[in-house]
Structure 1
Amino acid sequence: MVRRMFAVLAAAALAFAIVPRAEAAQGEVYVALGDSAASGPLVPDQVLPDLGCWRSDHNYAHLTAQAIGAATFRDVTCSGADTTDMYQPQRTDLGTLPPQLDALSQDTTLVTVQIGANDVGLTGFIEDCLNLLPPPVGDACNDDYVVNGQDSWRVATDALRPRLTALAGDIHARAPQARIFVVGYATYAPPNGCWPRVPIIRSDANYIRATLQYFNRMLAEQAASAGVGFIDLQTPSTGHDPCTGSGTRWIEPYIPASPAAPFHPNARGMRNFATVVTAAVSGV
């Protein structure tokens, strides 16, 4: 998955709240955890020393840290990360990184975590549904995920529930003073899609939309179960999906028109997500 992400990013580069009410205190010690949806691959500027993580200094966590005046900020978000990488070193094409939970400390006061998409193969899932030809020549992908009458993507999503609950508990154990917020994923497809602008046919676009809505509901439910906050990015990003114009969209399509990885937030998206996240962590 990491090599695949590296290849996709390189190609793109060449192509060019359920939220607990709490007031953000001055002097926050803020730690950002997560995957490429949080790290901001190809969004200027990519930061050292962990270039293999494709992490932007203008991702929503950096912008939120500035907005709340965090006294200490540690961003360990990394492209390709899944829940395993919270606990174990993550290998990237440009080096190996420590477990993300190692960034937590007893004095951490704020944590955002956006994770889980790679556990269920979100990137590969969307890529599998790309279809340059419409039916009947092009085949729909959604039926590939139905096995023995069960939607395998939803089965994988439900299987992730206990891991996310355990992760919230482990974050709290390492950072007992911290307010913890699970961050959801954005809107990747409007109803019926927009083939051929984004080469995903209508039935597959609706399938992607429905399964991502289910995934975000799962994240919200597990956050509530664990007693932590949930920040909804799906709702505010409606109308800013990859099918919208380059001056409107927050998520880039398969062939990006601005510096960002395919089907990942661009700089505009990160700015708007930072507004949402800042409001949530500030209790606004």
Structure 2
Amino acid sequence: MRLSAKIKVALAITVGLVVTTAVDANAAPSFQRYVALGDSYTAGPLIPWQQASWCFRSNNNYPSWLATHLGLYSKPGGFTDVSCSSADTTNMTQSQTTPSTDIPLTSQPPQFEALRLDTDLITIGIGGNDFSVFGSLISTCPEVRSSDPAGHPCQDHYTINGIDTVKAAIKQTQLNLENVIKGARTRSPAAKIVIVGYPRLVPPSGYCPDVVPFADGDYAWTDSVARALNDAQATAARRQNATFVDAYAASLGHDACTGSAAWVSGQSTNLFRAVAYHPYQQGMEGVANLVYRALGGRTPATVAPLARDAATKAQLEQMADIVPKTLNH
């Protein structure tokens, strides 16, 4: 059967539309200026390659992977990462004190200073250090384990007059996060704002005391604290019309007890992988993919970020000596 000229043209146009649609569906979301804000779960302390910064920021953190997926990593002015280990919500508008080998302490400018009127994408991973929530857990829970290995001595430690003081503090963190979103939007009114949640540290059931030396009962409590923190982030995002990316749910099967599948480390610091209780590179890649999909992307490219502003060997040795002693989150 022979097709008429009109039918041939119609088919050609239809096929062209189908091909175009397929290409567009797989195209990277379009942004011009991306700024990443956050704490060490954003910065990536000791994940190679570390930048020459006392914020202990890695070139393989999720902002760098996301910027690479978006084609902004090497674009002049396209990508700015000011995430800093140990930052809390106050460091969005206030300077942050960080360690240094040259002088006793140095200072990082407020992270909001990186925002501009033409910033069109902002990711924010913050909140875990407010009221020292994360630092309290990873410092106190191992210390009190021996007093009741099968119980929940860490939870008991932070329960005063029947009130879970850690979860009570997280309620205030939610309000802090809402203010952060408001502040970011004021400075960059046209920006897409994404709140990035924290991956889980412990499994929903079971224990691995050699990796995470908490009492058995404190595993469930620690997991409930992580859920409360992510719920606070999600609620703040919803109330302020921002996007929330749920790294907690997505990291099921990737907690510190899962061996080679883990997105985060346990009690041991590996100078060539991650600080104790912090993300590995594979966790950062996982979170970057989550954010990319939340922005409308499909299958990101697997090209790794370049090692820009990389620390020298001498600087890395200094960082390796300082970071385990000073870092909370």
**TM more than 0.5:** yes
1:199 aligned residue: 213
1:107 to 118, 123, 127: 118
Q: Is 1:33 matched up with 2:37?
A: yes
Q: Which moved more, 1:71-80 or 1:271-280?
A: 271-280
1:79 to 85, 92, 107: 85
Cα pair 1:192 1:206 within 8 Å, conserved: no
Name the SS of the counterpart of 1:129 in structure 2: helix
C-alpha distance in structure 2 between counterparts of 1:104 and 1:135, whole Å: 48
Name the SS of the counterpart of 1:53 in structure 2: coil
Letter in 1 for 2:116: S
C-alpha distance in structure 1 between counterparts of 2:113 and 2:119, whole Å: 12
Task: Give, in angstroms, the shift of residue 105 of structure 1.
Answer: 0.1
1:187 aligned residue: 200
Cα pair 2:34 2:67 within 8 Å, conserved: yes
2:225 aligned residue: 211
1:247-284: per-residue Cα shift (whole Å, max 9, x none)?
21110111145510111101111111111111112365
Task: Give, in angstroms, the shift of residue 124 of structure 1.
Answer: 2.4
2:6 aligned residue: none
C-alpha distance in structure 1 between counterparts of 2:290 and 2:150, whole Å: 42
TM-score scaled to structure 2, two decimals?
0.75
Structure (1 or 2) with the greater helix fraction: 2
2:58 aligned residue: 56
Letter in 1 for 2:169: A
2:165 aligned residue: 152
Unaligned runs of 5+ in 2: 1-26, 101-105, 299-329
1:31-80: per-residue Cα shift (whole Å, max 9, x none)?
000000000000001112xx210000010000100101124000000001
1:138–1:62: structure 2 CA closer, same or farther, 3 Å change rule? same
1:92–1:25: structure 2 CA closer, same or farther, 3 Å change rule? same
Letter in 1 for 2:45: P
Name the SS of the counterpart of 2:79 in structure 1: strand
Task: Give, in angstroms, the shift of residue 133 of structure 1.
Answer: 3.8
Name the SS of the counterpart of 2:138 in structure 1: helix
Unaligned runs of 5+ in 1: 1-22
Cα pair 1:188 1:263 within 8 Å, conserved: yes
Letter in 2 for 1:37: Y
Name the SS of the counterpart of 2:142 in structure 1: coil
C-alpha distance in structure 1 between counterparts of 2:297 and 2:273, whole Å: 32
Letter in 2 for 1:151: D
Task: Give, in angstroms, the shift of residue 238 of structure 1.
Answer: 1.1
1:68 aligned residue: 70
1:133–1:145: structure 2 CA closer, same or farther, 3 Å change rule? closer
C-alpha distance in structure 2 between counterparts of 1:235 and 1:78, whole Å: 24
Task: Give, in angstroms, the shift of residue 218 of structure 1.
Answer: 1.2
Q: Which moved more, 1:138-147 or 1:90-99?
A: 138-147
1:92–1:197: structure 2 CA closer, same or farther, 3 Å change rule? closer
Cα pair 1:193 1:206 within 8 Å, conserved: no
Cα pair 2:39 2:86 within 8 Å, conserved: yes
1:143 aligned residue: 156
Name the SS of the counterpart of 1:142 in structure 2: helix
C-alpha distance in structure 2 between counterparts of 1:167 and 1:114, whole Å: 11
TM-score scaled to structure 1, two decimals?
0.86
C-alpha distance in structure 1 between counterparts of 2:193 and 2:152, whole Å: 42
C-alpha distance in structure 2 between counterparts of 1:181 and 1:56, whole Å: 20
1:62–1:133: structure 2 CA closer, same or farther, 3 Å change rule? same
1:254 aligned residue: 267
C-alpha distance in structure 1 between counterparts of 2:279 and 2:202, whole Å: 13
Name the SS of the counterpart of 2:69 in structure 1: helix
How many residue pairs align between the two structures?
259
Percentage of matched positions with identical amino acids: 36
Task: Give, in angstroms, the shift of residue 229 of structure 1.
Answer: 0.5
C-alpha distance in structure 1 between counterparts of 2:239 and 2:152, whole Å: 39
Task: Give, in angstroms, the shift of residue 193 of structure 1.
Answer: 2.6
**Structure exhibiting the larger radius of gyration computed from Cα positions:** 2
Cα pair 1:142 1:207 within 8 Å, conserved: yes
1:4 aligned residue: none
C-alpha distance in structure 2 between counterparts of 1:26 and 1:216, whole Å: 27
1:229–1:139: structure 2 CA closer, same or farther, 3 Å change rule? closer
1:20 aligned residue: none
Letter in 2 for 1:46: Q
1:12 aligned residue: none
C-alpha distance in structure 2 between counterparts of 1:256 and 1:97, whole Å: 25
Cα pair 2:211 2:268 within 8 Å, conserved: no
Task: Give, in angstroms, the shift of residue 162 of structure 1.
Answer: 1.9
1:15 aligned residue: none
